[in-house]
Amino acid sequence: MGFKSLISSKKMLSVLAAFLLLGTNMLMAQDATKDTAATASSGDATPSVWLAPGYYILLFVIVCFVVGIVGKILRVYDLTQQIQNKKPINWHNVMGICCIIFLIVGMYGAYWSFAVQGAMILPESASAHGVKIDEMFWTTTVLTVIVFVITQILLFGFLFRYRYSEKRRGHFLPHNNTIEKVWTIAPAIVLTILVIFGFFTWQQITNTIDAKGEQASINVDITGHQFAWELRYPGTDGRLGETNYKLVSGSNKVGVDFKDKFSYDDLQADTMYLPVHKSIKLNIHAQDVIHSVYMPHFRVQLNAVPGLPTYFKFTPTITTAEMRRKVGDPKFEYIVYCNKICGAAHYNMQRVVRVVEESEYQAWLAQQKPYLTDQIKKDLKFAEVKPVAKQNRLALNN
């Protein structure tokens, strides 16, 4: 009776019809949007952002309706069997079979994820420390996948193997010291090894002090603000000038303090050029909100926090030209992104990073404009130095 009243309910049928109508309209709107996008320019096409979420919500609701209806049908069938004194549905077997099906489908889903999504993984690391990062990643991944497969097979396998049966009674096991030791000590050993391995790797990566006798790292300032990265290189003296947030202005974007003599020859750049096999020290700053310097191919990521300068030291090992050949893309470029959602134009926070040979780097550096522009000189009211004319004196004989 309950199922019959559900089917005959005018409200339920009205809701279902409304959802079907909505789904049809959404599908037609999506087709129209695709046609419009194909014929119009990207600037003119304005598809609704609600189409895809609405479509999947509708599918979810329909699936819920289907599951509910199938459940009602099975319930009616089960009651009919009992009324006729026949053997009812063995729901324990049904649940056990569902667990096995779920295990198989889930394992295939995990395999599909590795096969399809795994193809999107980054190519080999383009920095020296990135190789160690990748070793840690793959070690952790292999261990967790092994544990995942074993635990899922045991979990759903036990549910199927020991489903309820009238011929069998469960064994009550209140406590077992051996089992407690195994599932406590084994994970502790594995996690301890991973933590120690990670600790020493991270210590090597974050060691920003140049070793004795080692060539000094090249300092590059990168400053984040909504919504761009500003780059600054040292000049011929090899040192960057100090900065002060109070000096930030329209012309002095990063607030360079020109009372510091080392700031006079600082250079500004639109593209981050890095010499291959040279140690680079990124000095990371932020002016407004938290940003994050993210250079995935170099395995570099560190937050840029206002008022808290940070730094990251790394050594590029693969030039842009070499990586283009490796990935088969002649237009490939390394990119520095912002990995924090810092506002509406967050997507704009990108800069091209180009790794080149030392000679090309020096040639590029020689072409960069000084940060101390004429506008900054004017704003700071730098005194214009004029050559003093020499006075010719005539020797007079009195």
143-159: pLDDT as tens digits = 899 999 999 999 999 99
What is the reported pLDDT for 275? 95
For the entire predicted model, the pTM comes to: 0.70
Instruction: Kindly give the pairing relationship between strand 218-225 and strand 280-286.
Output: parallel
Segment (H or E) for 221: strand 218-225
User: Between vectors from CA 65 to CA 59 and to CA 67, what angle results, nearest 5°?
Assistant: 100
State residue 349 phi and psi, 5-degree precision.
-80, 80
- Exposure of 372 by Cβ count < 10 A (0-12 exposed, 13-18 middle, 19+ buried)? buried
| Amino acid letter, residue 377 | K
Cβ neighbourhood burial of 239 (10 Å; 0-12, 13-18, 19+): middle
pLDDT recorded at residue 20: 59
| Rounded-to-integer distance, Cα 340 and Cα 290, Å | 7
Token duo for residue 363 = 């040639």
pLDDT, residue 17, reads: 62
Which distant-in-sequence residues (6+ apart) come within 8 Å of 86 by Cβ? none
55 near 27, Cβ under 8 Å? yes
- 227: preceding bond cis by omega (within 30 degrees): yes
pLDDT per residue as tens, the chain (398 positions): 444 554 455 556 566 666 555 655 555 555 444 444 444 444 444 444 445 677 778 888 888 888 889 888 888 888 888 888 888 778 888 889 999 999 999 999 999 998 888 888 888 899 998 998 998 889 889 989 999 999 999 999 999 988 888 888 877 888 888 889 988 998 899 899 889 988 888 887 777 666 666 677 889 999 999 999 999 999 888 888 898 888 888 888 888 888 888 888 889 999 999 999 999 999 999 999 999 999 999 999 999 999 899 999 999 999 999 999 998 999 999 999 999 988 888 888 999 999 999 999 999 999 999 888 888 888 777 655 444 444 544 444 43
List all residues 6 or more positions away from 313 whose beta carbon is below 8 Å from its beta carbon. Answer: 206, 207, 208, 217, 279, 280, 281, 282
The stretches of the chain forming alpha helices (DSSP H) are 2-8, 10-39, 51-83, 91-116, 128-161, 177-205, 320-327, 358-366, 374-380
- Cβ-contact 95, 163 below 8 angstroms: yes
